[in-house]
Structure 1
Amino acid sequence: MSNPEIRELEAFLALADELHFGRAGERLHLSQSRISQLLRALESRVGGRLVDRTSRRVRLTPLGERLHAGLRPAFDAIVETIEEVREAARGVGGVFRIGFQGTANDPFMRAVTAFRDGHPDCAAEIVEIPLSDPFGAVHRGEVDAAVVLMPVRDDALVLGPVFSARPLTLAVSDRHPYARRPGIDAEDLAGCPLIGVAGAAPEYWRLAQAPVVTPGGRAIPAGPAVG
């Protein structure tokens, strides 16, 4: 007797879990007829019927129950071992240090939680990086990745997808004249000193966070710089 193929075992286990050919097919992205074909091939290899199927229900035969009891833990162990080896090959293990500017918001923490759940053998550590130096920690190897404000123009860095997109907001004191306006135009910044960014951040990045001219070319007064 030839050994069963992995797809036959997957089909049998999915059917044993779902007890429904349609749902088992959806789970494996296969048609019902393909699930039936794989089941018949496996039954031919073991020499007996594994599933009883009527118009009203699907259930395992005693032989199917015995196969399922022995196969499920062994199959899960194989899948787990393959995933562990795959993660080891990708280097997903140890500690993954994630740099973050400012306060870690909900989308960021959900992403970190999803990473931890998906890679239980890898500890994810959040490292605060200063506003004044968004890329330095990555260059120095102090973090493995960083979530920073755009733009990023650095050939030595690999830029991933945009993590979240939010509009820029102008924050002023409740005593500031702009606080009483229903809205302001970008040109109004010419009368409002902006807090700038000091430190090692590239000039293009600092100007993106605190521009020195309006879109129309009017100078914006420089306020204090923070790091």
Structure 2
Amino acid sequence: MASVELRETEIFLVLAEELHFGRTADRLRVTPARVSQAIKKQERAIGAELFKRTSRSVQLTPAGKVLQEGLSAGYRQIKEALSAAAAAGRGITGELDVAYSAAWCGTLVVAATDAFRAHHPNCTVRIHESPLLDPIGPLRDGSHHIQLIELPIDEPDIINGPVIFSEPRALVVPLGHPFAERDTVSLEDLAEAPLITVTGQPQYFVDHHYPRRTPKGRLIRRGPSTTAWQEVLALVGAGKGVSPTCARAAQYYSRPDVVYVPFRDAPLVEYGLLWAATSSTPKVHAFVETLLETARAQRAAPPPQA
């Protein structure tokens, strides 16, 4: 099928879906006149009217409905074949290992993976949860090709991709702690309780998320440290201290012995994409674009009804 014919088929199918010349033109980034010309050309070739047009509406004729049903599946197959061929030409084949740090990152990665597979069926995507201990290690040894994780990460052999989203912070505290009765807490409150921290991360990362002093310079005491998030929650629940986290953790890690109290003055937690310089391949960049598009679509979607 020639490219012109394929484009005219696309115009017909989009108009059959939209039933509006202006919306069809906007969606395909052509002029309404181009849409009209393409439809008239097809009607002349078929010898039948495909759409009934009035000043108020556009409707498929019986011949148009038959053509729509016959073309839809074939057009989809052609587009998928062209996409697969283009992907193979760009090296978007083989396997791609994508990692995420937090559960809310995983939700976005799964959605992006579904979209990526639809466009690049010859590339197998495997999804992993990145370890809290040495999360950059799998990028360096090639076990993971790309990762969505909390920032900052500043390593000479790791490429920082775009920041995907930012989230407010909260302090997870034991049930019954005085902070648990508050609506919000302040960074200055960190001087009032031992801070449970994580290890195995770069020191600048630890200092950023687990500061040693408050903004006014008061010392923040160190409590126990661990390499697992569930252990952080267990230590907090046992009354061993408090720990900062993303406020969204309350939706994913609810426990009867802890309370998540929002910060009123803490900076947002930024989440961004990382990949090793040695893994800067077409399929990595294609996944980055897909994840960005998925994140934009999720932000634009209306909130779910209660």
Aligned AA (2:214): T
Cα distance change, pair 30–226 in 1 and its aligned pair in 2 (3 A): same
Q: Tell me, yes or no, if structure 1 residue 133 matches structure 2 residue 134.
A: yes
RMSD of aligned residue pairs (Cα, Å): 3.4
TM value normalised by structure 1? 0.75
**Offset, 1:82:** 1.0
Cα distance change, pair 217–33 in 1 and its aligned pair in 2 (3 A): same
Match of 1:38, SS state, is helix
**Offset, 1:52:** 5.6
Could you tell me which of 107, 112, 115 is aligned with 2:113? 115
Aligned AA (1:156): D
The alignment covers a number of residue pairs equal to 221
**Offset, 1:160:** 2.9
Measure, in 2, the Cα distance between the counterparts of 1:166 and 1:71. Answer: 45
**The structure with more strand, counted as a fraction of residues:** 2
Measure, in 2, the Cα distance between the counterparts of 1:3 and 1:164. Answer: 39
Whose Rg is larger?
1
**Cα shift readout 1:31-74 (whole Å, capped 9, x = no counterpart):** 43221122334556x38455364536554585x77866765554
Match of 1:81, SS state, is helix
Measure, in 1, the Cα distance between the counterparts of 2:97 and 2:78. Answer: 30
**Offset, 1:20:** 4.8
Match of 1:9, SS state, is helix
C-alpha contact 1:14 1:24 (8 A) present in aligned 2: yes
**Offset, 1:118:** 3.8
Unpaired runs of 5+ in structure 1?
Answer: none
Bigger mean CA offset, 211-220 vs 180-189: 180-189
Unpaired runs of 5+ in structure 2?
Answer: 228-306
The residue that corresponds to 1:218 in the other structure is 218
**Offset, 1:119:** 0.9
Match of 2:159, SS state, is coil
Q: Tell me, yes or no, if structure 1 residue 14 matches structure 2 residue 4.
A: no
The residue that corresponds to 1:33 in the other structure is 33
Cα distance change, pair 208–100 in 1 and its aligned pair in 2 (3 A): same
Cα distance change, pair 72–128 in 1 and its aligned pair in 2 (3 A): closer
Bigger mean CA offset, 166-175 vs 18-27: 18-27
- Percent of residue pairs bearing the same amino acid type: 33
The residue that corresponds to 1:51 in the other structure is 50
**Cα shift readout 1:136-178 (whole Å, capped 9, x = no counterpart):** 2111111121222211212322223333322222222234444
Measure, in 1, the Cα distance between the counterparts of 2:47 and 2:180. Answer: 80
Higher relative contact order (CA 8 A, sep 6+): 2
C-alpha contact 1:116 1:123 (8 A) present in aligned 2: no
C-alpha contact 1:132 1:226 (8 A) present in aligned 2: no
Measure, in 2, the Cα distance between the counterparts of 1:11 and 1:175. Answer: 64
Measure, in 1, the Cα distance between the counterparts of 2:51 and 2:133. Answer: 68
